[in-house]
């Protein structure tokens, strides 16, 4: 029997127009987008469908837009494809929790809305940046971060795939790390600053943590119906208290994407991954982590039709 995992994208996968075809073709999509606009107190649907891009790419808009888009797809898919486990990259972990029924869609969206606002505020209070380092291993990147820190913060933020690590921290420290990574003895294939509004998954996000803890603690969580492999530990979680703690820690911890995918395949014998949402970032990473698993993307009305959903 095929063992299936759903994975949900995070920030960076958004595109103007996402969800428009779903809204036009499915009544359930219209209902969810209307509910989301109401919860957000703004026309999130209009920004998702028509942009402009410079608004959609703002953290506090991007996160709810991606979350709602992925959730709409899960509702259209229903029980026609059933996942044995779920995960998401950063923001996508919230979507995974809604899919696993540990938190309701409405409460999940309120959490994501506040998380996006807090991350934006942290970026303003403690300006930082992120960079992709390609072609080096974990030990080398750790070493580079230690050398580059000089009493500032720079740390690995995303262990995405073999030879693909994102670092995060103070602007000067990240730029020093980029220069060190490019030079001897490391000679990274690529070291490039990313267009982001803050140093996500680093200690610079500490200014957001207490408020995030308050809203997480005031939200009703239940035990998940399927295991969620978390970003912060790469381990399966079903207990509601551990889920809340994982979402809290995730903000300042590294995203252990490579490890959680490897663990999922090994421990649950997962043979197929479906990326549910905008873009193909996660299936691209999974292909690099393990080229033997089957990969699928469902992000549009056309994709749903191709899978007879």
Is the domain spanning 4-123+204-306 CATH 3.30.450.40? The answer is no
- What 3-state class would DSSP assign to 233? coil
Residue 196's closest CA among 120, 125, 250, 111? 120
CA distance 15 to 238: 32
Q: Mean of the pLDDT values across residues 158-173?
A: 97
84 is catalytic: no
Select which of 60, 69, 89, 201 is catalytic.
201
296 is catalytic: no
Across all residues in the chain, what is the average pLDDT? 97
Is the distance from CB of 195 to CB of 230 less than 8 angstroms? no
Confidence at residue 197, expressed as pLDDT on a 0 to 100 scale: 87
- Structural domain spans, the chain: 4-123+204-306, 128-197
Phi, psi of 103 (to 5 degrees): -150, 150
CA dist 221 → 49, 97, 120, 247 (Å): 31, 9, 25, 12
- For 3-65, give the DSSP string: -EEEEE--TT---TTTTHHHHHH-HHHHHHHHHHHHHHTS-HHHHHHH--HHHHTSHHHHHHH
Confidence at residue 269, expressed as pLDDT on a 0 to 100 scale: 96
Confidence at residue 184, expressed as pLDDT on a 0 to 100 scale: 95
Task: Kindly report, residue by residue over 167-214, the tens digit of the pLDDT.
Answer: 999 999 999 999 999 999 999 999 999 988 899 999 999 989 999 999
- What 3-state class would DSSP assign to 107? helix
Place of tokens 């509910």: 35
Confidence at residue 2, expressed as pLDDT on a 0 to 100 scale: 85
Task: Kindly report, residue by residue over 229-248, the tens digit of the pLDDT.
Answer: 999 999 999 999 999 999 99
Cβ neighbours, 10 Å, residue 63: 27
Q: Mean of the pLDDT values across residues 251-267?
A: 97
Confidence at residue 43, expressed as pLDDT on a 0 to 100 scale: 97
Select which of 45, 48, 70, 90 is catalytic.
90
Give the confidence band of 88 by pLDDT, cuts at 50, 70, 90.
very high
Q: Can you give the C-alpha Rg of the chain in angstroms?
A: 19
How does DSSP classify residue 203?
Answer: G
Does the pLDDT value for residue 1 go beyond 90?
A: no
Is the domain spanning 128-197 CATH 3.40.228.10? The answer is no
CA distance 223 to 3: 21
């Amino acid at each position: 029997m095929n063992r299936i995992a759903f994975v949900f994208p995070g920030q960076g996968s958004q595109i103007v127009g996402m969800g428009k075809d779903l809204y036009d073709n499915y009544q359930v999509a219209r209902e969810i987008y209307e509910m989301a606009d109401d919860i957000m107190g703004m026309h999130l649907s209009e920004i998702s469908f028509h942009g402009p891009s410079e608004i959609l790419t703002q953290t506090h808009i991007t996160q709810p837009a991606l979350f709602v888009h992925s959730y709409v797809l899960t509702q259209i898919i229903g029980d026609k494809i059933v996942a044995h486990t779920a995960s998401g990259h950063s923001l996508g972990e919230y979507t995974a929790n809604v899919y696993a029924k540990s938190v309701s869609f409405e409460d999940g969206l309120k959490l994501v809305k506040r998380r996006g606002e807090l991350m934006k505020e942290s970026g303003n209070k403690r300006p930082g940046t992120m960079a992709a380092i390609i072609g080096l291993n974990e030990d080398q990147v750790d070493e580079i971060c230690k050398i580059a820190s000089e009493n500032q913060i720079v740390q690995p933020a995303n262990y995405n795939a073999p030879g693909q690590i994102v670092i995060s921290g103070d602007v000067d420290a990240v730029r020093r790390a980029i220069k060190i990574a490019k030079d001897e003895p490391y000679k990274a294939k690529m070291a490039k600053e990313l267009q982001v509004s803050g140093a996500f998954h680093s200690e610079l996000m500490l200014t957001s943590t207490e408020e995030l803890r308050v809203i997480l603690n005031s939200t009703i969580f239940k035990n998940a119906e399927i295991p969620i492999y978390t970003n912060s530990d790469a381990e399966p979680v079903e207990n509601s208290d551990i889920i809340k703690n994982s979402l809290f820690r995730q903000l300042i911890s590294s995203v252990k994407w490579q490890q959680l995918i490897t663990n999922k395949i090994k421990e649950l014998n997962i043979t197929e991954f479906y990326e549910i949402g905008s873009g193909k970032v996660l299936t691209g990473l999974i292909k690099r982590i393990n080229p033997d698993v089957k990969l699928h993307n469902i992000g549009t009305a056309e994709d749903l039709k191709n899978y007879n959903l």
